[in-house]
Amino acid sequence: MTTIHLHGKRGVELLHDPLFNKGTAFTEEERDALGLRGLLPPRVTTQDQQLVRVLDNYHRKESPLEKYIYLVSLQERNESLFYRLVMTNLEEMMPIIYTPTVGLACQKYGHIFRRPRGLYLTRNDRGRIKLLLQSWPQADVRIIVITDGERILGLGDLGANGMGIPVGKLALYTACAGIPPAQCLPIMLDVGTNNSALIADPLYLGLPEPRLRGPEYDELVGEFVEAAQQIFPKACIQFEDFGNANAFRLLHRFRDVACTFNDDIQGTAGVTLAGLLSTERITGIPLAQQKILFLGAGEAGIGIGDLIVEALKLQGVSESDARRQCWFVDSKGLVVKSRTDLVEHKLRFAHDHAPMKTLLEAVEALKPTSIVGVSGMPQTFTEAVVRAMAQINQRPAIFALSNPTANAECTAEQCYSWTDGRAIFASGSPFAPVTLNGVTHVPGQGNNSYIFPGVGLGVIASESTRVTDEMFYTAAKVLADLVTDDDLKLGRIYPDLKRIREVSAAIGTAVAQVAFDRGLTTVLCPTDLRAHVENTMFDPKYPDYI
């Protein structure tokens, strides 16, 4: 075990610090040396024994929301035990600490609030953002996840209730990629909300006022980015769940001047591209010959399209030809050049074609190999649409990626049933395996947690000053290559979630290599980069304190 420094903490202060607390696992020697004698029950227990206790208590909780509250409370008491529990039971607990349960937790955030976590920045803090960041107790922050709560999953504007998203994302950074908890900082940029129900709720904890827009909003975000670069110079800033109007604009504004990315645009793109690359091994159709039709032309859909174009360009396809592999249907119909209502980010995927109002019309006319749902609208992959895809393709790829589960464009059972089990299915939230005609199909979960933790790990390990599209393309390729033949036989186009730490280490190594190869860091590349990356990963086992 590694001995670590406690920075003078002892006694009750030590027990109340979740980063250092071991609870009843403090040894007899530690209890004497650290002023803990009498403050704990006399019997010393191991972390394994504690794990039995907390898992038993977890299973006593009857609803997903109760389980979420229990896990958050454990995280606030004992970070090491929390991560040991989650990492040991990742398939069971990821849907609790993140999608889909985190969506419900955000909706009820003000009602289930126990203890503040992270930083809250508001419009009233303009001119003093730097001071607020300096108040954070951890100096070596490496990952910041910030949201303004305008587009939480598929649930819309949840204002300050959206803090559950940065907290959950950072829990996945640690659980999936071993980013030390002390290096993680969740931030809520509370600029108001246009959700009238929240404003009227006396238990809502955010500013009960309309959303800030325009130059004042931009100045606030700019002040934050500048301050973060000064106070935490090695930190990567992840923008999360911003509305479409701001997400693309902020990414374009900061991506070349700060170490930053938008997970909804680039992380979703990476995991979806990985899924499409995996389908090649099932269908035999290379990416350059696939035609992808998207339902939804917001930040997720356009981000996926942009990364597919970059991937095809690296394969030698011209940009114009690469863009014609991607087609979009939005709320007004097929995105075509003749439309006059298109916002800027859709224009680059507007093609010459007759207007069409419905997804079914577009499927029948364009004959895509894959459809990708990022609309946030449930049940929009109707039986007619899915059957049409099955008529066009022997193995149609159906990606119902909208979160949470209730917003999925179709369920796994529907998809497999309507295609006689021939579909390659992926979803954003988890679905159980489906047995049809004696054959069990295991849905792939196109969860961003396969991508963003590894990318963050690579950025931290290399101390990269930027996050590039090449890094996400590289991450997607690594992820697809880690899918085994046994996975594909089950219909699963992503690796088993139990391998997530291995996946993150591989992605982290490849992303770090990109940073070194492109001169995005002043750090020298280690001789054994994989070992260097793995050595940075947090181990939730208790250290020795004396």
- In angstroms, the CA 121 to CA 190 distance is 6
- In angstroms, the CA 236 to CA 223 distance is 16
List CB contacts of 212: < 8 A, sequence separation 6 or more: 123, 191, 192, 220
- In angstroms, the CA 511 to CA 459 distance is 7
Helix (H) or strand (E) holding 359: helix 359-366
Q: Which single residue is written with the structure tokens 């179709």?
A: 410
- In angstroms, the CA 48 to CA 286 distance is 47
Provide the b/e sequence for 400-413 (b: ≥16 CB within 10 Å). bbbbbbebbbbbbb
217 is catalytic: no
Strand partners, 188: 120, 147
- In angstroms, the CA 417 to CA 411 distance is 10
Catalytic entry in 58, 68, 83, 98: 98
- Token pair, residue 265, equals 């645009």
22 is catalytic: no
Provide the b/e sequence for 355-382 (b: ≥16 CB within 10 Å). ebeebebbbbebebbbbbbbbbbbebbb
- In angstroms, the CA 236 to CA 239 distance is 10
- In angstroms, the CA 249 to CA 80 distance is 38
Sign of the four-CA dihedral 105, 107, 110, 111 = negative
Q: What is the DSSP letter of 544?
A: B
- Token pair, residue 71, equals 């896990």
- In angstroms, the CA 62 to CA 344 distance is 47
Catalytic entry in 9, 22, 67, 169: 169
Q: Which single residue is written with the structure tokens 């809250």?
A: 120
List CB contacts of 38: < 8 A, sequence separation 6 or more: none
- In angstroms, the CA 465 to CA 58 distance is 40
CA atoms in the 13 A half-sphere facing the CB of 30:
25
DSSP annotation string for 364-426: HHH--SEEEE-SS-TT-S-HHHHHHHHHH-SS-EEEE--SSGGG-SS-HHHHHHHTTT--EEE
Write out the catalytic residue numbers.
98, 169
